[in-house]
Chain A
Amino acid sequence: MDWTVIPKNLGFLFEGLIVSFQLAGLTLALALPLGSIIALGRLSSRKWIYYLTSAFVHGLRANPLLLIVFWFYFLVPIIIGRPIGDFTSVLIAFVVFYSAYFAEIVRSGIQSVGRGQIWAGYSIGLTYFQTMRYIILPPALRRMVPLLVTQTIILFQGTTVAFIIGLKEFLHRTSLVSERTLKSFELYIFAAVVYLVICYSGSFLSRRLEVKQ
């Protein structure tokens, strides 16, 4: 067993980790707002908005992430008319896909604030927006945070899927080094440990947040 293969390639592998973080971070920054808007649509009393957003959410959640990545990788260049980079097409796929999951978290967070609270808000004369802002969102957000953190960890694990269209993120680079040096055991254990440490810290944080409530 030759563990020196890891320090020798650390720089190269680490660059891949940065790409993974970039993909995860940008996806989070875009998918969460998009998901929140869709969640409001899912709660709308206007039928067409409800059906449209529900179809969006259910349709996306029924598909594997990998297939959605292929869809966008194929379609976006056709629609835009020219090829676009790996990172961009994967990012678009990820944002659309994960917004469906964030939408459900936000929706259930808002719905978890009971009807009675909404009535109480209205009964003291608050408008829809005031009720949202002062009565519904504060407890809803507090409830959502652990779930959002969990979903972000899932998202981070999902960045490995970008491998398939050639994005040189952490897993891809691990496999490249492994092919070159044939030290696959050491390298994949290392990759596993890195992900383990990152994701475990994340879920530890999520549990702490849950307890704090």
Chain B
Amino acid sequence: MVEREIPEHGFPLHCRFSRIQLIMGIDYDFRWSLLWEDPYGGWLIDALLVTVHLALLSWLFALAIGIVIAVFRVSPVKWLRIIGTSYVEVLRNIPFLVQLFFWYFAVPTLLPRAWMLWWNQLPSANYWTAVVALSIYTSTRVTEQIRSGIHATPNGQYQAGLSIGLSYPQMYRYVILPYAIRVMIPSMTSEFLTIFKNTAFAMVITVPEITFTAKRIENWTFQGIEAYTFASLVYVLTTFSVIAFMGWVERRLHIPGMIKKE
């Protein structure tokens, strides 16, 4: 048992393992109380909010854009289909960081001088750039999932619907969407989790989300293990909660025999 000095603020943490001899005899002093001490605790809470906000907002935009592009891709108008397909093929094959840098560094230089000056002095310019980049990048994947959702209706079902005289809007409501939604749930879940993890990229343009904050704490205090453990826990717990919740949703919506599993 090692007695630790009581810091000026916060409370002491007596820990049996407060000093550990790792392999090769390197010492590492654990200081888990760090995570709720001032100012680090505050940083972490803010970072959590930023991460969640960024993820949700980008997700909403990604869905909106994704639906529009999906409509383009199934449209009878050839040009719309070409635009839709090019959008997806181009943006899927460029790494996200490249796209992020493009929006952050390159695009402002294209703006008319007055706009560029206004944009550069915005305090959360980096945040909104991250939203734009993340939404557009994710929309390319969302649109593919929407497309496969729409195509999930078995051909026989489609023909049965037409043969009982349903109109196209009715077909969508009664035949296509029930299949589409159930097929899309797993892939959309996975996509949301991907966007949640991708918020970490925003740290390269100094958006204060969780990973950025963890690195910052490490830079300030050298307590990397504590900081990164907190960050990892945020991602891991979010992942498992979302998976558990969507699993429940999937079970509620499940109709036996509807989606044939291989």
Contacts and interface: CB of A to CB of B under 8 A. Distances in A.
Do A and B interact directly, with beta carbons closer than 8 Å?
yes
Interface of A: 59, 61-67, 70-71, 74-75, 78-81, 112, 153, 157-158, 160-161, 163-164, 171, 174-175, 178, 182, 184-185, 187-189, 191-192, 195-196, 199-200, 203
B32 to A, nearest CB: 16
A66 B26 contact: no
A187 B239 CA distance: 36
Contacts of B110: 185
B236 A63 contact: yes
B235 A74 contact: no
B197 interface: yes
A184 B106 contact: yes
Q: Most A CB atoms within 10 A — which of B94, B107, B228?
A: B94
Contacts of A185: 106-107, 109-110
Interface of B: 22-26, 28, 89-90, 92-99, 101-102, 105-107, 109-110, 193, 197-201, 203-204, 211, 214-215, 218, 224-225, 228, 231-232, 235-236, 239-240, 262
B26 A64 contact: no
A66 B211 contact: yes
A188 B101 contact: yes
B24 A195 contact: no
Q: Most A CB atoms within 10 A — which of B97, B197, B204, B218?
A: B97
B94 A63 contact: no
A78 B22 CA distance: 8
A74 B98 CA distance: 25
A158 B97 CA distance: 9
B57 to A, nearest CB: 18
Main secondary structure of the interface of A (DSSP, over half): helix
Contacts of A158: 95
Contacts of A157: 94-96
Nearest to A82: B24
24 contacts: A62-B235, A63-B197, A63-B235, A66-B203, A67-B200, A67-B232, A75-B224, A75-B225, A78-B26, A153-B93, A160-B97, A163-B97, A175-B101, A178-B105, A178-B106, A184-B105, A188-B101, A188-B102, A188-B106, A191-B98, A195-B93, A196-B94, A199-B92, A203-B92
Contact of B93 (A80, A164, A174, A200): A200
A62 B239 contact: yes
Nearest to A154: B95
B200 A79 contact: no
Contact of B97 (A59, A70, A161): A161
Nearest to A183: B109
Given A62-B235, A63-B236, A81-B26, A71 B228 contact: yes
Contacts of B200: 64-67
B204 A74 contact: no
A171 B101 contact: yes
Contacts of B95: 157-158, 160, 171, 195
Contacts of B101: 171, 174-175, 188
Nearest to A81: B24
A98 to B, nearest CB: 14
A62 B231 contact: no
A71 to B, nearest CB: 5
A-B interface, 3 closest residue pairs, ranked by CB to CB distance from nearest: A199-B93, A64-B200, A157-B95
B94 A192 contact: yes
Contacts of A160: 95-98
Contacts of B99: 192
B204 A164 contact: yes
Contacts of B96: 157, 160
Contacts of A74: 218, 224-225, 228
Nearest to B193: A62
Nearest to B238: A62
B28 A78 contact: yes
B25 to A, nearest CB: 8
Nearest to A161: B97
Contacts of B214: 67, 70
B204 A163 contact: yes
A204 to B, nearest CB: 10
A92 B99 CA distance: 26
B117 to A, nearest CB: 16
